[in-house]
């Protein structure tokens, strides 16, 4: 792929994740998709629906993308620490995202944090507004937006490491039957990535380790994206065609992340970045 096409790929990923996240907002705010609406605004949880619905719409439109990403990253972090830690497994596992079923909240939080550094991409209202102001894609030197954009390789590296931990954990679960979830999800306790059996678990262990150290990320990202999509159609779609009801949203978010990394590389703190010191880490920003 031509690097000039990356802002368009970023836009597609932003829109897909925004549509998936909108399901959460609509379920919490309005009870759609068999959700449980919470309108007791005296409690923090009730605000999740309006925040997630509004934030998802902004993401889909690509409006105020950086600010929206920052807010949603914080909201997902709060959701994780407030709602998921009570489901912790054995002692010492309290912060592990798989045993407490906080995987999706943790993944979303780091994804939105990374999106804060990238902006909305080519197909966004942010890019259109910048063009109307004759600002183009240039970032004013020394501006807050320019400084945040410069963090993209580091935030992509953090997102890669977090995703690698969770992918590797799925492999451990399938191969060694540890880190089992404490609550049911979808039709049963099996998570979609766990639907490909021990052979799939071995693949996740190998690819997860490569992802963690940041080596051969382009083929690794492509293979992981394909495995996540396969797991979604094998483990999720038979349950229900709607992602929020079939428990497969995180698989689709993983696929989006891995597709992007397949074209951009590992980001900071990776063996690839160490081996490619002569070439500066690539950062994509359009607004």
Task: Give the separation between CA 268 and CA 45, rounded to whole angstroms.
Answer: 35
Answer whether 159's CB lies under 8 Å from 110's CB.
yes
| Per-residue pLDDT, 108 | 97
**Between 196 and 117, the higher pLDDT residue:** 117
pLDDT tens across 54-83, in order?
A: 999 999 999 999 999 999 999 999 988 876
pTM (2 d.p.): 0.89
Instruction: State the average pLDDT over residues 78-99.
Output: 66
Dig out the tokens for 245 from the structure: 């009801």
Dig out the tokens for 281 from the structure: 């880490």
| Per-residue pLDDT, 93 | 57
Average pLDDT value over all residues in the chain: 87
Q: 185 φ, ψ to 5°? A: -150, 125
pLDDT tens across 143-173, in order?
A: 888 999 999 999 999 999 999 999 999 999 8
Whether 193 has a pLDDT exceeding 50, the answer reads yes
Which residues, at least 6 apart from 238, have a Cβ–Cβ distance to it below 8 Å?
none
Whether 28 has a pLDDT exceeding 70, the answer reads yes
Residue 276 DSSP label: T
| Per-residue pLDDT, 153 | 96
The residue among 250, 216, 202, 232 whose CA lies nearest residue 104 is 250
**Between 52 and 136, the higher pLDDT residue:** 52
Whether 201 has a pLDDT exceeding 90, the answer reads yes
Task: Give the separation between CA 152 and CA 83, rounded to whole angstroms.
Answer: 29
Task: Give the separation between CA 166 and CA 183, rounded to whole angstroms.
Answer: 17
If pLDDT is split at 50, 70 and 90, which confidence band does 100 have?
A: confident
From the number of C-beta atoms within 10 Å of its C-beta (0-12, 13-18, 19+), residue 88 rates as: middle
Share of the chain above pLDDT 70, in %: 85
Task: Give the separation between CA 228 and CA 216, rounded to whole angstroms.
Answer: 18
| Per-residue pLDDT, 42 | 80
Whose structure tokens read 């079923």? 101
């Amino acid at each position: 792929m031509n690097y000039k096409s990356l802002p368009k790929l970023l836009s597609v990923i932003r829109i897909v994740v925004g549509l998936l996240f909108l399901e959460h907002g609509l379920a919490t705010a309005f009870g759609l998709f068999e959700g449980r609406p919470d309108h007791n605004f005296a409690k923090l949880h009730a605000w999740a629906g309006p925040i997630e619905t509004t934030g998802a719409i902004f993401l889909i439109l690509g409006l105020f993308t950086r600010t929206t990403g920052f807010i949603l990253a914080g909201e997902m972090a709060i959701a994780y620490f407030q709602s998921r830690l009570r489901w912790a497994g054995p002692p010492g596992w309290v912060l592990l995202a798989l045993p407490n079923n906080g995987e999706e909240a943790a993944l979303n939080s780091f994804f939105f944090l990374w999106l804060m550094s990238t902006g909305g991409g080519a197909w966004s209202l942010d890019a259109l507004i910048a063009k109307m102001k004759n600002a183009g894609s240039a970032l004013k030197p020394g501006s807050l937006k320019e400084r945040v954009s410069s963090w993209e390789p580091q935030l992509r590296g953090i997102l890669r490491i977090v995703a690698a931990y969770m992918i590797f954990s799925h492999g451990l679960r399938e191969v060694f039957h540890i880190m089992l979830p404490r609550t049911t999800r979808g039709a049963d306790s099996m998570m979609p990535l766990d639907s490909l059996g021990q052979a799939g678990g071995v693949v996740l262990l190998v690819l997860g380790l490569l992802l963690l150290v940041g080596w051969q990320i382009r083929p690794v990202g492509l293979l992981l994206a394909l495995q996540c999509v396969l797991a979604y159609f094998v483990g999720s779609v038979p349950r229900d065609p709607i992602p929020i009801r079939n428990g497969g949203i995180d698989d689709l978010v993983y696929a989006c992340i891995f597709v992007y990394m397949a074209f951009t590389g590992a980001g900071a703190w990776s063996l690839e970045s160490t081996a490619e010191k002569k070439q500066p880490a690539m950062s994509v920003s359009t607004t």
